[in-house]
Each structure stands twice: as C-alpha cells, then as structure tokens.
Structure 1
Amino acid sequence: MKQSKYTFILFVLTLISSVCVAQNPISFGSNLRTADPSAHVWDDGRIYIYTSHDEECQEDFWMKDWYVFSSEDLINWTNHGPILSVDKLSWADNYAWAPDCAYKNGKYYFCFPAGTGYKDRVNPEKSTKWMGIGIAESDSPTGPFVDKIGAPLWTVPYANDPCLFVDDDGKAFVYFHGGDDYLVAEMAEDMRSIKGDFYKMDMGGYEPKMEGPWVFKRNGMYYFTMPENNRELSYYISDSPKGPWKYKGVFMEREGENNNHHSIVEYKGEWILFYHRWLDIDSECGKQRHVCAEYISFNSDGTIMKVKRTEEGLKTKK
C-alpha cells in the first residue's frame, strides 16, 4: 500500500513537472498574438525578440505595430512594446509585417516592412497594395524607434520581411525577396540608405518562392535560411555574406498549409530557433499565430540537424 501511494505521488510530481517546463507557445502575457520573431543578443547579455503583432480577428494581415520582448532565462519575458506603429509613419498606414533589428554605430536600427493599399484576392488586377522597407533608430534596444528618413529605403522593387545582418567587419547588409529575385544590398555607413545597387545573389540554380530570410554566421560559415514556399524552413550555406550559396535542404518541415517565419541565434552557448505556429488556443477566430522556440543543433560539418516542433520548447536541459 505504501509503495502504491509513493508511486502515485511520484506520478503526480512528474506530471506537474512536465507541465511546468512546457514553454511553447512562449508566454509574452496579455494574450498577445505575435509572429515573425527576430531574435538578437545584445551587449547587456539579454535576449531580445522583435515581433509583428496580430490583432484579434484582423483582416487579411492588416497589422499596425511591432513589439519587442526580452529575457535573461528564456522563461520569464518582459514586454517592452509596442515600439513603433504605422501611425508614426508618413509613407505607410498598414502591413506592419516581419521586422528585424541590428546594432551599429552605438545605435539600434529597426528594419521593418510597411505599406498602403488593398490586396484584392478575388480580382488581383484590381489590387493597389504596395509594400516597402523602412529603417528606424533608437539609443535603446527597446525603443522607442523613430523613422529618421521619413520614407522607405526604396520604392521599387516591392519588398517585405527584410533581414538586417551586420558582419564581423561592421558591414551591414539587408536581404529580401523582391521582383521574384533573391536580393541583397549593402547599407550605407549611417544605416539610412543603401550603398550602391541591389545585388542578385547566386543561389545555385534553386530559387523557390519565399519570404522572411534570416542570415547568420557560425564558425566562419554564412547561413541563408528561409521559409521555403513560405512553409517549410530550409537553408543555404556560403563562405561570403553575398554568396554564391549552396542549397542544403529543409530543417523544419511544414505544418499543413500554415506559413512560418523564424530566426536563429546563439544564447549562453545554445543555438535556438524561434518561429511561429498557427494554434487554436483561446481565440474566437480559430487558429492564430503564436511564437514558439526549439533548441537547434549542428552536425560536425556545420549542416543543420532536423528540428521538430515540441510543446516543451526551451525547457531546462538536463
């Protein structure tokens, strides 16, 4: 009888423990719907996640502002947002989609897509939607961020969901998919314009549709990662930030027909994949986007191991 009671107590404690360590989706508080996580570790040692913000039951990705959250333990997160809204822009009033951020010249640069118009999905020829890439500045990683140039970095080609990458030598690059091309441009030293023209990267002959590239560097190797077909996560590698790139395959499979968007960052010796999932948790509108995270690992040759979605997420490793 005593042994049976002990076994039951142990079972209950194990169950409680498994619930306590479940970290997906990440709890940012206030029932916020967040997506498109861009994660960075700044000099203060904290990890920051810049996200887009899905309003409850929003119409066709009509989004109005951006948030940032920070943590020092990957469990408890501080909400610092909203850090910028389309109300503060003179050239756009909608489509506050996937952002990124970078540190250079003693300032933080928030790179974001925004736009105007209406996308007619029934009669595409009647669509007036346009999107461009903006850049805002702050002395703090949590903002507020100010659009100093009062205009997009360019107007043609149409572009959204940029990645802003600063290399070890201080050169900054902005990556995006525009005009059906894989493009990169070097940023000017003051980060308020691009330097020269766009550069169409050599992707080795494989250029699937995609949005939201994420570029990072590990052990001298550059990784160009993306939601291939806006669904599964795949990647290329190169020994240069501008390529040529070699396709290496998918590291996270698609989840139905749901879109995905991600970032990859090293924090306290562990590499972490942040991404979003469409989950029906507590919304009147069914599935909504929620930011999740998983640990990510590499093979000895630098290739990325397959990553599976879990409920545990960033639980403490044993």
Structure 2
Amino acid sequence: MLNTKFKVGLLYSIFISSASMANNPLNFGSDIRTADPSGHVWQDGKMYLYTSHDEECQADFWMKDWHVFSSGNLVDWTAHGAVLSVDDLTWADNYAWAPDAAYKNGKYYFVFPAGTGHKDRVNPEKSTKWMGIGIAESDSPTGPFKDMIGAPLWQEPYANDPSLFIDDDGKAYLYVHAKAHDYHVMELADDMRSTKGELVKMDMGGYEPKMEGPWVFKRGEYYYFTMPENNRELSYYMASSPKGPWQYKGVFMQQEHNANNHHSIVEFKGQWILFYHRWIETPASGCTLRKRQRHSAAEYMYFNDDGTIQEVKRTSQGVADFANRVAKEK
C-alpha cells in the first residue's frame, strides 16, 4: 500500500509533468492573440513563425499588424514584435490578414494581404471592402520589413491569404485565395517586386470546393497543395509539379467549432510540424464580441510510405516534447 504522503507526492509529480507538457496553444510569453501561423526555418536553424494579430475585441477581423516569433525547440519562443503594420502602407489601412515569408537573393521577403473599405454583412451590395497582396523585404528574418514598391502586386482580382513557395530551381510561385480566382498560381519576377505574367488556373482534377488559405510545400518528389476546405477542415492535393495537375487526397484535420482554420507545414530538425490556429474560450477585458478567440498551435505530422498524409488530431500537448524527441533520434 502506498502511504498518504507518497501518494500526494506522486499525484503532484503527475500534475506538474502534465502541466509542463501542455503546450497547445503555443506560449509566446504574453497574452497576444495570434492566428494564421506561417512557419519557416532559415539559415540560423531556428523556426520562425509569422502570424496575424487579433486585437482585443476587434470588429469583424479589423487587424492592423503582423508579428514574428522564433524558437529553437518549439516551446521557448522569442517575440520580436510587429514586423510590419498597415500604418506603414500607403495603399491600405486595414485587414492585416494571413501572411507568408520567403528567402531569396540574400533577402527575406514578407508577403501579406491588406485592404481598405468596409464589408457590409447586412447589405452586401453596399460593401466597399477591397483587399490586395503586398510584398515587403528586409535583411533580417525579424524585420522590420519595408514595402519597396509602395503598392499591391496587382489591383484586380480582390485577393488575400498568399502562400509564397520557392522551388529548388529558385523560381517563386504565389498562390492566393482570390475572387473568382481560387486554385490559381502566379510566378514572381526574379527581383521579387513584380509579377511574371497573370494568374494561371491549375488543373485540380475536377474537384474544387470552397477554400481559403492555401499552403504549398515540397517533400521528396511530391508537391502538396493544402488548404482549409470549405474554410474549415484541412485537406490536400499532391502533384509532381508546383503548378499541378493536382490529385485530391482528402481531409487530414477535421474542423473545430465550425470555425475557420489557417495553417502551414514545415520540416524542422527531422520532424514535420503542422502550425494552425484554434478558437479557444478566452477571457477578454470587457469584450462581448466573441467568446472564443484565435491562438496559434502546433502538432506533429506523419506521412505514409506513398507520401500521403496521416490524419492529425488536435492535442493539448502539441509539440511540447520536441527537444526530447529530437535528442533521442540523434
């Protein structure tokens, strides 16, 4: 029989161990609300996460800046603050939504959506909202980033949720969620300050559900086009080219709370990581607009031998054991 003192100590140890393993959503060291996490591993070997910023009690996703965080173990994060704000732009004053980043030509590039106007949800015909895609650059992965062209990459079509993929040959491909132009891709010029041709419709194999937030990556011989299908569950296609033709493979993460999701997928120290956001009940100072707010989170991802993605389930631990897992595999 265990004596009472030992049992209390054991339960306390289990509680402490469980608490230390709870790492989802990610702890950035403050109560900042982040969403749409875009993960990248740069030359210094750290993971950098570029996010949008949900302001406390914001109205209808009126968002004003983008933030970046870095980590060597996915548990301890350094907050580098806002890397860009709509106040730095001459062509937009709102809607600092889901960003992405890339490295090329010895510089870091930050691609982002921003816009103007107001969306009238009651009388859509009165809406004046417009959004475009901008690109800024910096000598540092943490910015500050500067909008070198002082304008969006194009005016029409209305677009947001950019995904910027640099292939092995250095070509830059931009995928977006755009009005009447989903499942399109556009090449960027070598200077990364202009487009190369128009948006080109890709062959998606005949299946094109409502979507937003595309994310494209390469693993081995395959390219993956992933997205929030119906703006909720995460699904994917595979191809042997960054422009397709694509073959639909199915859903790998189910929806939660019937709310939007936005993600990125990146390999870090031999582990594949899915970054995404969760809508979690969060106390807000005098805020009655939303009971749940968005927080960036992470899970491990696994692939089958044929390259297909295994189902990913949300956990409270996330990638809390990342350092131990990497150490064991050395």
Normalised by the length of structure 1, the TM-score is 0.98
Alignment: residue pair count: 318
Q: Which position in structure 2 is the counterpart of 1:222?
A: 223
For 2:210 and 2:132, how far apart are their aligned partners in 1?
A: 18
Q: Which position in structure 1 is the counterpart of 2:234?
A: 233
For 2:255 and 2:72, how far apart are their aligned partners in 1?
A: 30
Q: Which position in structure 2 is the counterpart of 1:292?
A: 297
For 1:204 and 1:150, how far apart are their aligned partners in 2?
A: 38
Query: Within the alignment, does 1:269 sit opposite 2:274 as a pair?
Result: no
Q: CA deviation at 1:3?
A: 4.6
- Letter matched to residue 317 of structure 2: E
The 5 Å alignment of 1:11-90 reads 11-90=11-90
The 5 Å alignment of 1:67-216 reads 67-181=67-181, 182-216=183-217
For 2:298 and 2:177, how far apart are their aligned partners in 1?
A: 25
Deviations 1:243-292 (A, max 9, x none): 01000000000012210000000001000000001111332442110001
Normalised by the length of structure 2, the TM-score is 0.94
For 1:83 and 1:197, how far apart are their aligned partners in 2?
A: 29
Aligned 8 A contact 1:66 1:96 in 2? yes
For 1:282 and 1:203, how far apart are their aligned partners in 2?
A: 42
Instruction: Give the % identical residues.
Output: 69
Query: Within the alignment, does 1:311 sit opposite 2:312 as a pair?
Result: no
For 1:240 and 1:103, how far apart are their aligned partners in 2?
A: 20
For 1:300 and 1:121, how far apart are their aligned partners in 2?
A: 46
Deviations 1:14-39 (A, max 9, x none): 12101111101111122101000000
Aligned 8 A contact 1:180 1:209 in 2? no
- Letter matched to residue 79 of structure 1: A
Q: RMSD over aligned Cα, in angstroms?
A: 1.1
Deviations 1:165-187 (A, max 9, x none): 00011000100122333110011
For 2:122 and 2:311, how far apart are their aligned partners in 1?
A: 37
- Letter matched to residue 121 of structure 2: R
Q: Which runs of 5+ in 1 are unaligned?
A: none
- Letter matched to residue 223 of structure 2: Y
For 1:219 and 1:139, how far apart are their aligned partners in 2?
A: 29
Q: Which position in structure 1 is the counterpart of 2:328?
A: none
Mean alpha-carbon deviation: is it higher for 176-185 or for 208-217?
A: 176-185
Q: Which runs of 5+ in 2 are unaligned?
A: 326-330
For 1:68 and 1:131, how far apart are their aligned partners in 2?
A: 22
For 1:104 and 1:2, how far apart are their aligned partners in 2?
A: 62
For 2:301 and 2:7, how far apart are their aligned partners in 1?
A: 35
For 1:29 and 1:309, how far apart are their aligned partners in 2?
A: 21
